[in-house]
Each structure stands twice: as structure tokens, then as C-alpha cells.
Amino acid sequence: MNPFEPSCQTILQLTEAWETRLLCLPEEIISERKNSQNRSIRQILGHLVDSASNNTHRIVHLQYRENPMSFPNYATFGNNDRWIAIQNYQHEDWLNLVSLWKFMNLHLVHVIRNIDPEKLRNQWQSSDTELISLHQNIDAYLPHFELHLKEIEVLINLK
């Protein structure tokens, strides 16, 4: 069995449960309420799209490129906020954004389920001092995914 199957199942369950919930949210909640990073629900979901995309690329690259691999860490130096702004998630069509988030995560699960187990120790250099293995990279995805869903939950429940 794939060691990541429990995480894959959780990602699939959360994606299914949250898709309907997200689509039912009114415009003012998804656009106007902001978290501590000054991100709206639209922007948080866009960040999760970027995370799924970047993680998919890392997983693929870590299975065929040099080891350790040099690969940009989009989360450093505020770059993830630049990605959010450049892609203008605040004004993305909500149905399209939710669909993109869903299908990016379904594809990421597919990619995780098809990893070459012999490549799990391959590493990428995420900073000048830190190497992260493919295994660690995959393990870190679900907690990150859940963290941002909890942020969305808090914003939904604001009165």
C-alpha cells in the first residue's frame, strides 16, 4: 500500500465536503472577510490552488532531476502573496476557482498515488540551509491544506 494513502483519502474527503460548502457561500463572505494575512476566502483558495500546483511540480521534478534539486520555493520572501496578486484571485470567477481548486487536488492525489517509492529520499533545496525530501514534501501537504481550510472556516463563522 502507498504510505500516503491515508493522506490521499483525507484530501479527497475534504475536497468533496468543502466543494459544496464553498459554492454556497455568499459573495460578501468570500470577498470581504479577511484573515490575519489580509487574505479573503477567494485569495486563500487561490493560494491553495498555487500550493497544489507547486507541489505537483515538485513531486514530478523530484522523480527525475538531479539530487538534491534546485527548485524555486514560491513561499519565501512573500512570493506567495505576489502569486495571489498577479493572478488576481480576488476577482476570479468563484465557480471556476472552486473547480480549479478541486481538480488540482484530485490530480495531486493521482500524482501522489503514482510516485516511484525509490525516489522518496530525493531532495530539493528549499533554502540556503534546508533540504526537503520528496517524502517530507508530501507529508507536509495535508497539514498545510487543513490549516488554510481552518482559516476559511474562521472567516465563514465571523459575525
- Statement: residue 1 has pLDDT above 80: no
pLDDT one-digit tens code per residue, 54-91: 999 999 999 999 999 987 877 776 789 999 999 999 99
| pLDDT value, residue 116 | 96
- Statement: residue 10 has pLDDT above 90: yes
Q: What is the mean pLDDT of residues 49-53?
A: 97
**CA-derived radius of gyration, the chain:** 16
116-121: long-range contacts at Cβ-Cβ below 8 A with a sequence spacing of 24 or more? 116/63, 119/62, 119/63
For the chain, domains (ranges, CATH) are 5-157 (1.20.120.450)
- Calpha distance 147→137 (Å, rounded): 16
Of 62, 60, 59, 74, which Cα lies nearest the Cα of 123?
A: 62
3-state secondary structure of 69: strand
- Which residue type is seen at 37? Q
| pLDDT value, residue 89 | 97
Beta bridge mates, 28: none
| pLDDT value, residue 78 | 73
| pLDDT value, residue 142 | 98
| pLDDT value, residue 34 | 94
Contact 147, 92 (CB under 8 A): no
pLDDT one-digit tens code per residue, 113-154: 999 999 999 999 988 888 999 999 999 999 999 999 999 999
- Statement: residue 158 has pLDDT above 80: yes
| pLDDT value, residue 54 | 94
pLDDT one-digit tens code per residue, 82-105: 999 999 999 999 999 999 999 999
